[in-house]
Amino acid sequence: MSSPANLPRLTRSVLPALQTHVLSPRWREPAIGIVHLGIGNFHRAHQALYTEEAMLAAGGEWGICGVTLQGDVGKRDALMEQQGLYSVVERGPGGERVTVVRALREVLAMPHDHAALFGRLADPLVRIVSLTVTEKGYCRDAKTGDVALDDPGVAHDLAHPLAPRTVPGILVAALRARRDAADGQPFTVLSCDNLAHNGAALRQVVCSFARRVDAALADWIAAEVAFPSTMVDRIVPATTDAERATVAEQLGYRDAAPVPCEPFRQWVIEDRFPAGRPAWDAVGAQLVDDVTPFELAKLRMLNGTHSTLAYLSMLGGFATIDAAIADPAMHKLIHAMMTQEIAPTLTLPASFDVAGYRDALLARYANPALKHRCAQIAMDGSQKIPPRLLATIEARIDAGQPFARLALAVAAWMTFLRGHADDGTRYEISDPLADELKALAASAQGEPQALMNALLSVRDVFPAQLAARPEFRTALQGALQLLRKNGARRAVAAMQ
């Protein structure tokens, strides 16, 4: 087989030869009706796929314009050379399947394509602006929920509201243009990030930013713009050469931007779309009045244990999630954590099978074909720890219940900040607060109480009220001492 570099590029002209690798041979190129901010792997393996299926099921002009916000012209150029096409490589225990996705029609890179983006956002055919920009992309003050005024990007956008760089700045500028247009119709803003109450959180950020610019505009956004919340779920690792080789072998064409993922997927959406939406409910998405119960189940059961596995694995030397969960002691820890500590904090519809959900998560983690890197999950811990672990701990303390395994997870993150595994192998800390966190961890010189005191002072992570609670401090110090004395693997075994 020729190497991928020697094969012709995947483009729309070769689609007739790939009918076994598309969702359906029936396809009409749609107009662009969705602009998506943050055109990363997750969106391309999740919402874009749902959207193509919805158009196949019920029609509609819901083609996607994807936007990279980091000036990544390489990603833009690679996808546009393929006319928006890319492959989803779905890997499960039963093998792998390659699907060519056609819903992405255009890719733009900010700030290079500023005029093109705002021209697209002003188009009345665009009725949804969706986002997967991670928690840090919201420029949100963790204490107040408003826009973070000390963020350099926010400061720039407030000073230059017509040349924004941040998500709130872009949305406010685009909504101002929509308000001032002839028909005055806004688009719906759809957050698809792992952030508690993501729609409401984004609405507060956007409205608080707008109020700094134009109070009347802020009032209009608050009254007229829908910000439905969502819960999204699919494990989507980073792309490697293995996916490029798989696509080359199965398609006979070169794809510079394939996306690996697991077979499982879930999307729960609050059904508030005044300007319309694709028929996502016809292809497996759940449209509900309130996404909160589903969101909390996912944040705490999946994301919380994912982070737990990641930090314990970075210390203990497991490279991937499947390798970690294959360890009997780790499997037992995560099973007990979900069953005894996390599930009791959830209030779910009677139809929700918590034990079945737990078992499905464990099976997904064990998928040997996915090779989800623990280092990827460990990124941006300062943003992830509060919703994934601390909120659950607070609920356990309020209920007067123990939380030793949850405390071990937080202790593992704190210990992870030293920058090396138990065997001395070094790794990078990728986090918006990396410099501050690494300095605090280094100042403690590995002493558990000093490490705890230093890191509990970081208000962007630990609320003062939680940091002062004696139950939390006692459990956390005990977990830190356990890790210091035994290392991660023996600490996990000792928790049984």
What are the tens digits of pLDDT across the range 51-94?
999 999 999 999 999 999 988 899 999 999 999 999 999 999 88
Q: Rounded to whole angstroms, how far apart are CA atoms 262 and 9?
A: 25
Give the other-Cβ count within 10 Å of 54's Cβ: 22
Do 57 and 282 contact (CB within 8 A), yes or no?
A: yes
Let me know if 330 is exposed, middle or buried by CB neighbors in 10 A (0-12, 13-18, 19+): buried
- Band the pLDDT of 211: cuts 50, 70, 90: very high
Q: Taking residues 339-344, what's their average pLDDT?
A: 98
So what's the pLDDT on residue 351? 86
Is 2 a residue whose pLDDT tops 90?
A: no
- Residues 209 and 215: their CA atoms lie apart, in Å, by 10
359-416: per-residue pLDDT in tens?
Answer: 999 999 999 988 899 999 999 999 999 999 999 999 999 999 999 999 999 999 999 9
Q: Of 360, 355, 347, 221, which Cα lies nearest the Cα of 293?
A: 347
Residue 229 scores a pLDDT above 50: yes
Task: List, for residues 93-133, the tens digit of each pLDDT value.
Answer: 888 999 999 999 999 999 999 999 999 999 999 999 999 99
Looking at residues 171-185, what average pLDDT do you find? 95
Mean pLDDT of the chain: 96
Closest CA to 186 of 215, 138, 222, 151: 222
Taking the CA atoms of 217, 222, 225 and 227 in sequence, report the sign of the dihedral they define.
positive
Q: What is the mean pLDDT of residues 278-292?
A: 96
Structure tokens, 271:
């059904």
Helix (H), strand (E) at residue 45: helix 41-45
What confidence tens digit (pLDDT) does each residue in 438-453 have? 999 999 999 999 999 9
Instruction: State which amino acid sits at residue 154.
Output: V
| Residue 32, both tokens | 């662009």
State mean pLDDT over 328-341: 98
pTM: 0.85
270-280: average pLDDT:
97
> Which of the four pLDDT bands, split at 50, 70 and 90, describes residue 32?
very high
User: Which pLDDT belongs to residue 336?
Assistant: 98
DSSP secondary structure letter of residue 21:
G
pLDDT of residue 142: 83
pLDDT digits (tens, 9 = 90+) for 138-149: 999 988 999 999
Please enumerate in sequence order all residues whose Cβ is within 8 A of that of 250, keeping only pairs 6 or more positions apart, or say none.
Answer: 21, 98
Of 295, 312, 315, 293, the closest CA to residue 303 belongs to: 295
> Residues with Cβ < 8 Å from 425, sequence gap 6 or more?
317
Would you say residue 283 has pLDDT above 90?
yes
Say whether pLDDT at 1 is over 60.
no
Asked if omega into 111 is within 30° of 0 (cis), the reply is: yes
Full set of structural domains in the chain with CATH: 4-288 (3.40.50.720), 292-494 (1.10.1040.10)
pLDDT the model gives residue 371: 87
Q: Within its chain, how far is the Cα of 295 from the centroid? A: 13
Tell me, what's the pLDDT at 338? 98
Average pLDDT over residues 192-221: 96
- Cis amide prior to 274 (ω within 30 degrees): no
What Å distances lie between residue 157 and 8, 74, 165, 166, CA to CA?
Answer: 42, 25, 7, 7
Per-residue confidence at 471, pLDDT binned at 50, 70, 90? very high
